[in-house]
């Protein structure tokens, strides 16, 4: 029996995000939100491990209630239970405060063998949450994991593979551990229509909402108050201007291309 907790973030689909060029702010209105892509790979990995070793998969998300949509989707994919960790006091958290809040919620869930996060989000993309939560739970953490080779439930050990710049590393660790995984390590399954229906009909059975008091968090350490970093300003970063000379393929086009490369002193 493996008990696995997956952290997911409900994020604006950055491909759609627009920026206000005057105010330099992000326009979130009208932008679809999605489960952060690698978090789907994290869910898939968790469900595959459950199928192999038996057990339970829980997802948690610290978020405003709008993330319920994402949690329902996770349940429809086959997750046993989802926890929405939500409180006004959690607002404007940086990664330290987010990780603290998530680690309180994970402790509240109680026993677990494996905690899985995405490698990084498509919005603020720090990749901090996995390592920070590991530290706060006092257990080892490994990022960039591409495969869980084996879990030994008797010895309570896990074998993992991960990719770094210059090669592939194989690690063995005692359970529990925290790992982070990237997009492309597997193909996330689709939500099951019947489960989707069940989640709609019996939302309360599958999704629990926890506020600050429920997870026993220190109010000084959450949200804006608990965040040592401050975002002073955000400005739009225009893409470098390009010549945009686009041509249909032909002998002439290729000649022109080579001419341009010469002008740019590339050849």
Partner 1 sequence: MSKEKFEGVYVYIEQRKGVIQEASLQLLGEARKLAEKLKTEVSAFLIGYQLKKLVKEPIYYGADKVIYVDNKECANYNPEIYKTVLVQLVMKYKPEIFLIAGTKYGRELAPSIAADLETGITADCTAFDIDEKGNLLQIRPPFGGRVHAYIITPEKRPQMATARPNVFPLPERNVSRKGEIIKEETEVSKPSMALIKFEKGSEAEIPIEKAEVLISFGRGFNLEDAHLLEELCDFFLKSSISCSRPIVDAGLMPRSRQVGQTGKTVRPKLYLAIGISGAIQHLAGMKDSKFIAAINKDPNAEIFKFCDFGIIGDYKEVIPLLIEELKKKQAPS
**Contact footprint for ligand FAD (CB under 6 A):** 7-9, 36-39, 42, 60-63, 93-96, 98, 102, 117-118, 120-130, 183, 229, 231, 234
Pick from ligand FAD, partner 1, none: which does 255 bind, CB < 5 to 8 A by kind? partner 1
Ranges within 122-161 binding partner 1 (CB under 8 A): 122-136, 139-144, 159
Ranges within 83-102 binding partner 1 (CB under 8 A): 94-96, 99
Query: Are the C-beta atoms of residues 5 and 137 closer than 8 Å to each other?
Result: no
Please count the CA atoms within 13 angstroms of the CA of 168 that sit on its side-chain side: 5
Q: Of the listed pieces 2-10, 80-88, 198-206, 223-231, which binds partner 1 according to CB under 8 A?
A: 223-231
14 part of the interface to partner 1, by CB under 8 A: yes
115 part of the interface to partner 1, by CB under 8 A: no
Please, which residue, 190 or 224, has the CB nearer to ligand FAD? 224
Terminal C-alpha separation, the chain: 62
Instruction: Kindly state the number of chain residues that form the binding site for partner 1, as judged by CB under 8 A.
Output: 85
> Which one among 1, 167, 193, 204 touches partner 1, defined by CB under 8 A?
167
**Beta carbons within 8 Å of 217's beta carbon, 6+ residues apart:** 100, 101, 104
Please, which residue, 201 or 267, has the CB nearer to partner 1? 267
The helix (H) or strand (E) run that includes residue 114 is strand 114-118
Cα–Cα dist 219/225, whole Å = 8
Pick from partner 1, ligand FAD, none: which does 141 bind, CB < 5 to 8 A by kind? partner 1
> Which one among 1, 32, 201, 243 touches partner 1, defined by CB under 8 A?
243
Query: Are the C-beta atoms of residues 195 and 75 closer than 8 Å to each other?
Result: yes
Judging by DSSP bridges, how do beta strands 177-181 and 157-164 pair with one another?
Answer: unpaired
Cα–Cα dist 44/120, whole Å = 16
> Which one among 51, 168, 190, 197 touches partner 1, defined by CB under 8 A?
168
Please, which residue, 126 or 203, has the CB nearer to ligand FAD? 126
> Which one among 111, 166, 193, 194 touches partner 1, defined by CB under 8 A?
166
Please, which residue, 193 or 251, has the CB nearer to partner 1? 251
Peptide bond between residue 176 and the one before it cis (omega within 30 degrees of 0): yes
Pick from ligand FAD, partner 1, none: which does 15 bind, CB < 5 to 8 A by kind? partner 1
Pick from ligand FAD, partner 1, none: which does 194 bind, CB < 5 to 8 A by kind? none
User: Rounded to 10 degrees, what is the CA torsion of 143, 145, 151, 152?
Assistant: -60
Phi and psi of 31, rounded to 5°? Answer: -95, 130
Cα–Cα dist 239/255, whole Å = 27
The separation between CA 198 and the C-alpha centre of its own chain, rounded to angstroms, equals 25
110 part of the interface to partner 1, by CB under 8 A: no
């Amino acid at each position: 029996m493996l008990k696995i907790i997956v952290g997911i973030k409900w994020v604006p689909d950055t491909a759609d995000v627009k920026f206000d060029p005057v105010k330099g702010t992000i326009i979130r209105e009208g932008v679809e939100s999605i489960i952060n892509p690698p978090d789907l790979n994290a869910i898939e990995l968790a469900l595959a491990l459950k199928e192999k070793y038996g057990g339970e998969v829980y997802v948690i998300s610290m978020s405003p209630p709008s993330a319920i949509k994402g949690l329902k989707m996770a349940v429809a994919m086959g997750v046993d239970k989802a926890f929405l960790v939500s409180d006004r006091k959690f607002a404007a958290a940086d990664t330290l405060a987010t990780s603290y809040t998530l680690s309180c919620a994970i402790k509240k869930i109680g026993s677990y063998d494996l905690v899985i996060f995405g490698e990084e989000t498509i919005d603020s993309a720090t990749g901090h949450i996995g390592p920070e939560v590991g530290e706060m739970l006092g257990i080892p953490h490994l990022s960039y994991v591409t495969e869980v080779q084996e879990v030994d439930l008797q010895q309570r050990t896990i074998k993992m593979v991960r990719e770094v710049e210059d090669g592939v590393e194989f690690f063995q660790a005692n359970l529990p551990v925290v790992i982070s995984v990237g997009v492309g390590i597997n193909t996330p399954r689709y939500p099951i229509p019947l489960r989707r229906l069940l989640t709609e009909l019996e939302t309360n059975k599958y999704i629990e909402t926890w506020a600050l008091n429920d997870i026993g968090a220190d109010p000084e350490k959450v949200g804006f108050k608990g965040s040592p970093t401050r975002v002073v300003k955000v400005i739009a970063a225009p893409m470098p201007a390009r010549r945009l000379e686009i041509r249909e393929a032909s002998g002439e086009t290729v000649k022109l291309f080579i001419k341009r490369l010469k002008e740019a002193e590339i050849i």
